[in-house]
Amino acid sequence: MTANMPNNRRPLSERPILETPFYESYKHLIQNDRYEEWSGYTTLGSFACEGQEYFAVRNTCGVYDLCPMIKYDIRGPDAERYMNRLVTRNVRNMQPQRVIYTVWCDDNGHVIEDGTVFRRAADVFRLCCAERQLDWLLDSAIGYEVVIRDVTEDIAGLAVQGPISCNILKKLGFGGVETLKPFQCRDFALHDYEVSVSRTGFTGDLGYELWIDADHASDLWRSLFEAGEPFGIRMIGSTALNMLRIEAGFLQVGDEFLSSMQTVRRGRDRNPYELGLGWLVDLDKGHFVGRRALLEARQNGVRRKLVGLDIDWNKQADGALIYSSSSAQRQIGEVTSALWSPILKQNIALAFLDAPYFEGGKEMWAEIYLHRECMWERRMFRCRVTRKPFYAPERKTLTPPNDL
């Protein structure tokens, strides 16, 4: 009932109480009251218009406040062994100043969460994720000589995304940033402090993420926007970011899956193969949490899988049920995230489908409700399995990026 209320009208118990280190720098840009909560922090659904913020990333440069992302510092003589036991990918193959996307699972092979792992040094890692995981990390560390700290409040972050993001960072003084390849990171000097820059992001476009000591956040924000003002740089909120990540085919905890630590109904857990993330599972690296169950899951195959859908008609298919025929007699899946893509001019969705429908080539229909003149109409529209990502510009991986 209170989800769409202005922040100052919500009950005190439901108001986010933390402000990010960048909040004071950009609060004057807020033109509406679309506040949202993320890990207790005040974040923005949009600053003014989500459509303009979306196109800022696709055409120029958009900046998203990453400070609420949960960050863990993991270090010690056993840090590499510990990380290799925790996550499904092989971190022994990581060189310092590299980043990987990965998941970690429980003993049943069900995904707890996904996130990024930064290797800062031989025995120093940073794990970034959307939800707090400290209890699981500490339990998994029993028997290992590692120290795990929650450094969320100590490290501020900004996602700088879009086709001219590299130009802006070069103007900021980060010489050589154009040589960074996807999932590489490097430290750059700015004034009297260092900024860690990684070529990562959640938009499926050319982009970088900037990580800094929280004490220098306001200076970084000011310097970045001074450098980017001639290029049309602007802040973006989570609504635009969600649109961008759907086009990129990226998963979001709470939408595509729930943490296996939070599900209460049998069968609601998801393993990496069901999520289309089997490529993140290295069964040859030795023992890790969930390996035995994942080996069995790979051998047995999956009965449901997350896929991309192309849906006829232009009504966004949020929460739509998918059926094997227009008569809606047999449900075969459901949509988890949906978008009328502004750049593709296409109705796209991420959806779970039963076998064998997720393999494509079979007829299926989406049940969509249209609200017209104060009345709801139920309509069935044809849909089909399509490739992911839906949108993948060449500039995302081009090194060096084109100088615009």
Write the pLDDT tens digit of every residue in 219-248.
999 999 999 999 999 999 999 999 999 999
CA-CA-CA-CA torsion sign (351, 356, 361, 366): negative
Q: Which parts of 185-303 are beta strand (E)? A: 185-190, 193-198, 207-213, 234-235
pLDDT at 86: 98
- Find the helix or strand (DSSP H, E) in which 250 lies: none
Residue 204 gets the label, from left (phi > 0), alpha (psi -120 to 50) or beta, of left
User: Does the pLDDT at position 15 exceed 60?
Assistant: no
In whole angstroms, give the CA distance from residue 275 to residue 305.
6
Binned at pLDDT 50, 70 and 90, residue 16 comes out as low
Specify the DSSP class assigned to residue 297: H
pLDDT at 6: 57
Backbone angles phi, psi at 246, to 5 degrees: -65, -45
Per-residue tokens: 126: 């940073």
Write the pLDDT tens digit of every residue in 142-174.
999 999 999 999 999 999 999 999 999 999 999
pLDDT at 4: 57
In whole angstroms, give the CA distance from residue 65 to residue 21.
9
Helix (H, G, I), strand (E, B) or coil at 121: strand
In whole angstroms, give the CA distance from residue 156 to residue 238.
17
User: Does the pLDDT at position 11 exceed 90?
Assistant: no
In whole angstroms, give the CA distance from residue 98 to residue 89.
14
Write the pLDDT tens digit of every residue in 169-197.
999 999 999 999 999 999 999 999 999 99
Backbone angles phi, psi at 93, to 5 degrees: -80, -5
Binned at pLDDT 50, 70 and 90, residue 351 comes out as very high
Q: Average per-residue pLDDT in the chain? A: 94
Write the pLDDT tens digit of every residue in 45-78.
999 999 999 999 999 999 999 999 999 999 999 9
Locus of tokens 């759907």: 246
In whole angstroms, give the CA distance from residue 132 to residue 40.
11
pLDDT at 263: 86
Total-model pTM: 0.93
Per-residue tokens: 220: 């970084």
Backbone angles phi, psi at 240, to 5 degrees: -65, -40
Cα–Cα nearest to 157, from 185, 121, 122, 191: 185
In whole angstroms, give the CA distance from residue 367 to residue 379.
6
Binned at pLDDT 50, 70 and 90, residue 404 comes out as confident
Binned at pLDDT 50, 70 and 90, residue 1 comes out as very low
Average pLDDT over residues 17-29: 93
Q: What percent of the chain has pLDDT over 90?
A: 87
pLDDT at 231: 94
Average pLDDT over residues 24-42: 90
